[in-house]
Amino acid sequence: MSLTVVSMACVGFFLLQGAWPLMGGQDKPFLSARPSTVVPRGGHVALQCHYRRGFNNFMLYKEDRSHVPIFHGRIFQESFIMGPVTPAHAGTYRCRGSRPHSLTGWSAPSNPLVIMVTGNHRKPSLLAHPGPLLKSGETVILQCWSDVMFEHFFLHRDGISEDPSRLVGQIHDGVSKANFSIGPLMPVLAGTYRCYGSVPHSPYQLSAPSDPLDIVITGESVQTFFSLSLGHRVNDPGLGTPRWS
């Protein structure tokens, strides 16, 4: 297919998109990823567009590709399998749905779904302070660090599909770090945590994962996970000032 034909197809898509009436926020689909939004390079991820009101057709598109669909078909609540994943797959995705026998009635766009691809840089290290064995109600600091000058660090728990927590890296003595404060700890099931780093200008192309870190709450009848209360950095004079804002 020539470049001219591709360009005309894109123009046609935008003309159609401008003509599509929105069905309202209550009808917009929901886009999810399984098993996780954090995907290893070379792996596979299933993107599922969930419809609420009888849609039988959907399109899936990547926002940084000018909203041109990467899939358009008659699949009801089924998964689009993407892979083997490369760094080019990292980014933000959305989907739309349409009703039976409707040529122009597309829904509002779904929630944005960010896919992060790992394995693009050396792995960072992950430490627990004061340690990985804790009591319910205590607070733990999970510190992710590396001699690679990462702009952001991400903390992710195995087995969950939610987006990982993110902090800006701070530079001190040639090492970049981020401290994730978690607590007070609450018993939930047992858990394994890993962290990742990203460099400037490639926020969704992450490093290889750190070695796994198991957090266990002692004094319970069974090993338990703890729930996360993330979102702020611990004040640490030794960390210095952030290199990036």
Domain boundaries, the chain: 30-118, 122-218
Question: Over 50: is that where the pLDDT of 17 sits?
Answer: no
Q: For the domain bounded by 122-218, which CATH number is listed? A: 2.60.40.10
Average pLDDT value for residue range 34-62: 86
Q: What is the pLDDT of residue 103?
A: 62
Question: Over 70: is that where the pLDDT of 75 sits?
Answer: no
Domains 30-118 and 122-218 share a fold: yes
Give residue 107's pLDDT band: very low, low, confident or very high (50, 70, 90).
Answer: confident
The CATH number corresponding to 30-118 among 3.40.140.10, 2.60.40.10, 1.10.1240.10, 2.40.110.20 equals 2.60.40.10
What is the pTM assigned to this prediction? 0.72
Question: Over 60: is that where the pLDDT of 233 sits?
Answer: no
Average pLDDT value for residue range 168-173: 92
Question: Over 60: is that where the pLDDT of 229 sits?
Answer: no
Name the token pair of 29: 């689909």
Which CB contacts under 8 angstroms, 24+ apart, belong to 238-241?
A: 238/172, 239/170, 239/172, 239/177, 239/179, 240/170, 240/171, 240/172, 240/173, 241/170, 241/171
